[in-house]
Amino acid sequence: MSLPVIAFTFPGQGSQAVGMGKDLAGLYPVARHTFQEADDALGFSVSQLCFEGPEDKLKMTEITQPAILTVSVAVCRVLQEKGVVPQYVAGHSLGEYSAHVAAGTITFTDAVRAVRNRGQYMQETVPAGDGAMAAILGTPLEQLQQVCNDAAQGEIVSPANVNSPDQIVISGSTRAVERAVELAKQRGAKKAVMLQVSAPFHCVLMKPAQDRLAHDLNALRFRDPEVPVISNIDAQPKTTGTASREALIQQVTGAVQWAASMQKLIQLGVTTFIEAGPGKVLTGLMRQIDRSKTAFIANDEASLQKVTDTLSKQ
């Protein structure tokens, strides 16, 4: 039997939960060290917020982003210590930073500081209430693009996360997003719901945040990734530090091409997808994209054990 071709995928904002990473930090020195590294880099105890909350603080964008990154990197390091090594990596929005840490493009310390700032810039760019996001189910991308065009009326609304053939998230000015939700329903969407988010991510309203983040990322050292990183912005493998940095900058205002990214990995021969980090959002999306592929969740001792046991039998 041929060996599996493995991709690690890393979750984005919304996958956080109080208690995440706690058992791994208790069991594995490499995980414990990762949390300590994050605490030292940030100057506050992100580990305590991950393990104990409170939830309302963990939900703040500038806390959520470094918290999810830290848990994802801890999981990735434990997997690699157990001999599970990816041939490709990809991450959903914020998760693309975890992917680049896994690929050796940027150091974990640089990444954790960068995403804290990224969260802060995104939060500060659009005043609360002025921007919104909504999930639309059962409307093809071209049709939804037309809905957004018709609903805009001089304001901003556009596809932000093309997550699967069945699920697309839109983002923009609150009233324009609300109009698009109503229009999508009228035109036959299976479901169209406003999301509880703190800002309208992945649309042109985020341009000021993108400019501020570009300044930060341009000051960091980006190496060529050790394994290809599939980027959100165009679903293509990035193999140089320069292209990796540019993709992370463009990603702030650009749509997350998640479905296309997963299709690209399948084209490249990936047979096994391991979601390294909190939650199980990406594994759920993989079922909508291609049910024939093996997809694992890896976020605590039980799920890690399942991954290593299954792979050791192949």
pLDDT tens by residue, 215-271: 999 999 999 999 999 999 999 999 999 999 999 999 999 999 999 999 999 999 999
Helix H or strand E segment including 28? none
pLDDT at position 119? 93
pLDDT at position 2? 73
Task: Give the end-to-end CA distance of the chain in Å, rounded to a whole number.
Answer: 7
Q: What is the CATH architecture of 131-197?
A: 2-Layer Sandwich (3.30)
pLDDT at position 34? 98
The one catalytic residue in 93, 231, 244, 261 is 93
Domain(s) labelled CATH 3.30.70.250 in the chain stretch across 131-197
Domain(s) labelled CATH 3.40.366.10 in the chain stretch across 6-125+205-312
pLDDT above 90 coverage of the chain, percent: 94
Instruction: Compute φ and ψ for 194, nearest 5 degrees.
Output: -70, 145
User: In the predicted model, what is the mean pLDDT of the chain?
Assistant: 96
Task: Look up residue 57 and give its amino acid.
Answer: K
Contact 109, 70 (CB under 8 A): no
d(CA 9, CA 6): 10
pLDDT at position 82? 95
pLDDT at position 268? 98
Q: What is the pTM of this model?
A: 0.96
Of 2-6, 109-113, 130-134, the one with minimum mean pLDDT is 2-6
Q: Residue 3: which pLDDT band, with cuts at 50, 70 and 90?
A: confident
Q: Is 202 a catalytic residue?
A: yes
d(CA 217, CA 204): 19
Q: What is the mean predicted confidence (pLDDT) over 49-58? A: 96
Q: Residue 108: which pLDDT band, with cuts at 50, 70 and 90?
A: very high
Q: Return all residues near 64 (Cβ < 8 A) that are at least 6 apart.
A: 13, 16, 58, 119
Count of other CB atoms within 10 angstroms of residue 252: 25
The one catalytic residue in 15, 173, 202, 261 is 202
Instruction: Compute φ and ψ for 301, nearest 5 degrees.
Output: -60, -45
Torsion sign over Cα 250, 57, 32, 79: negative
pLDDT tens by residue, 191-231: 999 998 888 999 999 999 999 999 999 999 999 999 999 99
Q: Is 164 a catalytic residue?
A: no
Residue 314 has pLDDT above 80, yes or no: no
Please determine, looking at this structure, whether the domain spanning 6-125+205-312 carries the CATH number 3.40.366.10.
Answer: yes
**Residue 101: exposed, middle, or buried by beta-carbon count in 10 A (0-12, 13-18, 19+)?**
buried
Q: Residue 1: which pLDDT band, with cuts at 50, 70 and 90?
A: low
pLDDT tens by residue, 122-146: 999 998 889 999 999 999 999 999 9
Task: Look up residue 81 and give its amino acid.
Answer: E
